[in-house]
A = this chain, B = another copy of it.
Amino acid sequence: MSNLALGIWQSEFDNLEFLMSLTEEILSGNSRAMARAMTLIENESGSARELLKSLFRKTGGALVVGITGAPGSGKSTLVDVMIQEYRSQGKKVGIVAVDPTSPFSGGAIMADRVRMSRHYTDEGVFIRSMATRGHLGGLARTTEKMITVLDSGGFDLILVETVGVGQDEVEIVRVADVCLVVLVPGMGDDLQAFKAGIMEIADIFVLNKSDQPLVEKVQRELESVLSLATRGDGWTPAIVRTIATEGQGVRDLVQQVDLFNQFRRSSLDWGARRRQIVEDNLRELLKERLLEKAIQQNAVWDKLQAASVAVSERKIDPYSAIDNIVEGL
């Protein structure tokens, strides 16, 4: 509040200018502008929202492919050879690699970056390694924004690689048009449980390291699970064998991605599913805005702090504490 009025106006004007030129540069496919936008998004800068508003309507051209699987399944190598395959078709490929990260330190090891460094000199490839930052729904929300930037920047394909199985997989469905689940032979006795969670998520199963023993066993198990279940949209997930380290099976995989993409575009189910995802996102946004608004207006902040202490000390339960705050609005 100590700034002079003139100063504020000037900086707002500068900010508008900055956002307009950044938007233009992104739409023309400028990599440095995209990287800058992504940093604004990761830092949750206020400008990010304005930027995303202006980019959003230029999106819809990219195919978003989610790639998930357990640690050690060779996802990064697979992404690496998929990039090569798509590049040989002349397509521009964006990659969002979601590294696990500490929820406290915000740090992340950029192992994938190093591995994929040979793509860094290729203007048709854009790689972003991302921290999940620990907040709930962090992957889905931030990844979605990164996708908006890449999509509006004219990338044909966006590969989203997530480490891990579990909640992440559930979230990847929300951002991806096609979901690949990477399995490897001999994953151990949790495979049954693992499969239960990914049956509806996987549009295509990738059996990587398929030169290893036990590949037949995993394939048979998968097929038996697939034969029991029917998906709402009628699609039967394909199983594609690959040896990513040698590039084997990657052309086949890319063809299956195309095939599923054609299927989903003609599927009645797809539109409804997309709309549901959009609605869930809008509800989340609305909740956040309502909280922002409440906190600004009604000393709700202080009440929330006091309630946190009281609940920590088990003097009141969380539901009654919130009842009290809401009644005071």
A residues adjacent to B (C-beta < 8 A): 49, 52-53, 56-57, 59-60, 70-76, 99-105, 107-109, 111-112, 132, 134, 136-140, 162-171, 173, 187-201, 229, 232, 271, 274-275, 278-279, 281-291, 293-294, 300, 304-305, 307-309, 311-312, 314-322, 325-326
- Copies per complex of this chain: 2
> Do B304 and A283 have beta carbons less than 8 Å apart?
yes
**Additional pairs, 5, CB under 8 Å, beyond known A137-B137, A166-B166, A279-B308:** A100-B169, A139-B167, A163-B193, A285-B322, A290-B291
Say how far A278's CB is from chain B's closest CB, in angstroms. 5
Residues of B within 8 A of A283 (CB): 291, 304
Given A111-B192, A282-B304, CB of A164 within 8 Å of CB of B163: no
Please report the C-alpha to C-alpha distance between residue A170 and residue B137 in the assembled complex, in whole angstroms: 11
> Do A322 and B289 have beta carbons less than 8 Å apart?
yes
Given A71-B191, A136-B171, A167-B166, CB of A196 within 8 Å of CB of B99: yes
Given A132-B170, A197-B100, CB of A72 within 8 Å of CB of B191: yes
Please report the C-alpha to C-alpha distance between residue A326 and residue B281 in the assembled complex, in whole angstroms: 15
